[in-house]
Amino acid sequence: MATARTARTVVAAALAAGLTVTALAAPALAADPAAPAAPAAAKKDHAATRAALQAAVDAGVPGAVAQARADGRSWTGTAGERGGDDRFRVGSITKTFTATVLLQLQAEGRLDLDDPVEKWLPGVVRGHGHDGRKVTVRQLLNHTSGIYNVTADPGFQEKVFGPAFLQHRYDRWTPRQLVAVAMEHAPDFAPGTSWNYSNTNYVLAGMVIEKVTGRPYGKAVENRIIKPLKLRATTVPGTDPTMPNPSSPAYSTLGGGPGAPVHDVSELSPTIAHAAGEMISDSRDLQTFYRALLQGRLLPKDGLREMTTAVDLSEQLPGAGYGLGLMKQKLSCGKEVWGHGGGIHGSLSEAYATRDGRHSLAANINADWTGDTQAILEGEFCGTLPKPVK
């Protein structure tokens, strides 16, 4: 869903790190904007991307994997204990899949993104100032709803992300239970007046899909995206806590930070994330998805235009914006990329592409207390070498 660690600010952490279902506030290595760019030849052989993967391992990450496609060619790099075909939990990258389905349903005339949430989920968004009659589906998707973030709730954090996780890792949560936790808190702001990343928004978005289609939201993702694009490594696990093969273990200190005991957290109940962050994929499939999306193969032109109409977040992070389940970043070299990041226990991911979809990258590290995924983006798209690990 979304962790609060990865890039240069809380915004980058919420977006680039995808804001996993966690709120782990661990220090992150940051790509050095002033670091020398690699020469053109090095960019072609992905030297800076390789260096960023190795830097993550040098910083204490057990393993890192990345795959890039450009100019019709594919490249895969690994460092540490990782395989190039590893599958991993993608966290908040799930949000782009969820948003895509809702935009497809709008294109079919089955709902309008400007419908109030109350129309589809009567009585669900109520309590402590929350009012589903004043929140639209669109505001869920671009995080302008003001709805409190369930993963910020102290009790939820303690049970799901702290040491108590080891006793509760297989607990099952219903979407309504997740929303109910959020409803115990006041809204962050009046709908449409500001921006704040909230995983609750996408739990609700998944519930809207289920109300419109009459089936689990994951079935819509499978039938509308996974099967047509032949994403063979991509799954919506539902209640299955296991990881498919091939995959490497996911490791976490459960909020303890560097030096704390490390735990294998590969198995967990995906229900803690639902449509905000439960999916599993690999680097190849994620690139296929984002390339197809940005090249107009999943949405009509109007739908893609709506998806890429972004809330301006440049005050928090220069050049950043958040559309409908899709983030825009302007990298240090001036290049603009679109995609999403994701973090969940023991897994931090990035999946981005240029607006034309011709150059793409997907990467993952199997730890959540250190390592700089933003540096991998900078390395691939800008040829920027990572800051040396001290």
354-379: pLDDT as tens digits: 999 999 999 999 999 999 999 999 99
Residue at 171 is within a domain: yes
The band of 43, judged by pLDDT with boundaries at 50, 70 and 90, is low
Q: Using 50, 70 and 90 to split pLDDT, how confident is the model at 117?
A: very high
> Would you say residue 4 lies in a domain?
no
**What total number of domains does the chain contain?**
1
pLDDT at 34 > cutoff 50: no
Q: What is the pLDDT of residue 1?
A: 65
Residue 272 within any structural domain of the chain: yes
On whether residue 5 sits in a domain, the answer given is no
Q: Greatest CA span in the chain, whole angstroms?
A: 59
State the pLDDT at residue 387. Answer: 87
How large is the average pLDDT for residues 57-86? Answer: 96
- Domain of residue 48: give its range: 10-382
198 catalytically annotated: no
- Burial of 111 by CB count in 10 Å (0-12 exposed, 13-18 middle, 19+ buried)? middle
Mean pLDDT of 77-86: 97
Q: What is the pTM of this model?
A: 0.92
- Distance CA(174)–CA(287), nearest Å, equals 30
- The pLDDT of 165-172, averaged and rounded, is 98
Is residue 198 domain-resident? yes
Task: Tokens 């070299």: give the residue.
Answer: 333
Distance CA 68, CA 283 (A): 8
Instruction: Check 92, 247, 248, 349 and give the catalytic one.
Output: 92
For residue 389, is it within any domain? Answer: no
Element (H or E) spanning 271, and its range? none
Output b/e per residue, 329-359; b: 16+ Cβ within 10 A.
bebbeebebbbbbbbbbbbbbbbbbbeebeb
- Answer whether 212's CB lies under 8 Å from 101's CB: no
> What confidence tier does 258 reach under pLDDT thresholds 50, 70, 90?
confident
Assess whether pLDDT exceeds 80 at residue 69: yes
Question: Mean pLDDT for the chain?
Answer: 90
Place of tokens 């908040």: 92
Asked whether residue 1 is domain-assigned, the answer is no
Residue 87: closest CA among 372, 368, 349? 349
Q: Which residue has the higher pLDDT, 316 or 175?
A: 175
- Domain assignment present for residue 251? The answer is yes
CATH number for the domain harbouring residue 48: 3.40.710.10
Q: CA-to-CA distance for 132 and 134, rounded, in angstroms?
A: 5
